[in-house]
Structure 1
């Protein structure tokens, strides 16, 4: 890892742990809750302790004035829920575009096991090569998704472990993937790569479910979260960001983190 990459990783995390809030959902879902007034949401989650905000590069000018010195990651591929195939992620920019947008890092989503895997492997490999030339870190969102992958199967964590290892093999610096449901099964995923592993949030759940998931991932050896809707769609995004950051950075238990953030522990 070159000096520039190392320095920029420090801008999107704290002591090699990461609380990233992806807000690139405007391409996928449209101007959903939390994204219409993007400026206020960015301000709230970064005041709450998010290390970095992630968006498509086109809205970077709405992020920078409101991110309270947090890092900025430009996401460089996407798709929509109203298109023919949401898993068919296509490139939306280049590393140079991201640099011009003031990014400290770039990210890309790849669905390992999908019918689009081949093209997405090529795209990620090209992006990591380009990013390395500029000393820009790459967050690879490596999901196990495809016709032969069953999230309910006993060996699902094997597929997720394969996905994160693919991210390392292709030159990423941090890998993001889905949580496998418990710390025991997720430990295999973390052990499948030498890179920091951060978990996705998925669909918004209860506060307790969210914090229990983060706690389980950290217990398995994860390095943090890249969690979107569970944070930016929350009624109190600053508070939930603070609770997640407490688990990731302060090693707090889930219930204690919720109490300290001013969120009631649900019965």
Structure 2
């Protein structure tokens, strides 16, 4: 990253450690109202938690949360594209916001949600290339939230496929990626080998799972060179989000270790 990007990115992650706990709450556009995100007031109750370094949201949610003051001191990442799940092509995410909108809203970075399913890969790469060209002129970092689907992303081919997608993203100017966890969590070192020197990696929590599973994902990711987590449902659908965030924050502050026990969040 150049100087302008580094300055903005230092508001997205902890500037001393480079690690981050990023909370995506962009789910409403894709899936509508859901537990924990039925309205903007629900996440506003806990988004000021000190463990959270940044939030990913669409422009309407950012505007409403800014009115509450809960985003003060947090990195704001504006989600630029998306598609509703009921669309004919839900994996083809279209541009819904602009770099200009991100700058006007005071965003520290922008995000793209890209689903590589073998059908829309060229659309994804063209979109990322165009956004990277425009964002670089203003020093805006780009987070790419990646999913790999289809036959090419299954079984033994999953890790090489995902590694190739990540390589394509940083070749086109992406600064950070949110990755789905591999089917076998022990494959994280193989997945990240040689990649983390060129791009910051954050692991997604995926569908709701246990607090202990997310803690293990965080520890294994940090040990392999990842910068932290980008988790939504496992926070906003947690019965005790503040306690869970405190536990994750304590783990983030440690040096990588092999102790996988999470502070009791219940």
Q: TM-score, normalised by structure 1?
A: 0.90
State the alpha-carbon separation in 1 of the partners of residues 3 and 27 from structure 2. 31
Alpha-carbon shift at residue 138 of structure 1 (Å): 0.5
Greater mean alpha carbon deviation, residues 242-251 or residues 54-63:
242-251
Match of residue 71 from structure 2: 67
Distance 1:172 1:97 in 2: 19
- Number of aligned residue pairs: give it: 258
Query: Which shifted more, 78-87 or 222-231?
Result: 78-87
Name the CA shift for 1:241/1:221 in 2 (closer, same or farther; >3 Å).
same
Q: 1:32-73 CA distances to partner (integer Å, 9 max, x unpaired)?
A: 122234244244143151100110012212222212411110
SS in 1 for 2:9: helix
- Equivalent of 2:234 in 219, 230, 237: 230
Instruction: Give the secondary structure class of the aligned counterpart of 1:21.
Output: strand
Partners of 2:4 and 2:112 lie apart in 1 by 20
Equivalences for residues 98-113 of structure 1 within 5 A: 98-113=102-117
Distance 1:192 1:113 in 2: 24
Instruction: Determine the structure 2 residue equivalent to 1:168.
Output: 170
- Please show how residues 1-267 of structure 1 align to structure 2 within 5 Å: 1-14=1-14, 15-64=17-66, 65-150=69-154, 153-182=155-184, 184-193=186-195, 194-251=198-255, 253-255=259-261, 257-259=262-264, 263-264=265-266
Range 168-177 or range 215-224, more displaced: 215-224
* Contact 2:144–2:176, Cα closer than 8 Å, also in 1: yes
TM-score of the superposed pair, with normalisation by structure 2: 0.90
Q: Which runs of 5+ in 2 are unaligned?
A: none
Using the TM superposition, name which of 22-31 and 55-64 deviates more. 55-64
CA drift of 1:117 comes to 0.9
Cα RMSD (Å) of the superposition? 1.8
Inter-partner Cα distance in structure 2 for 1:165 and 1:246: 31
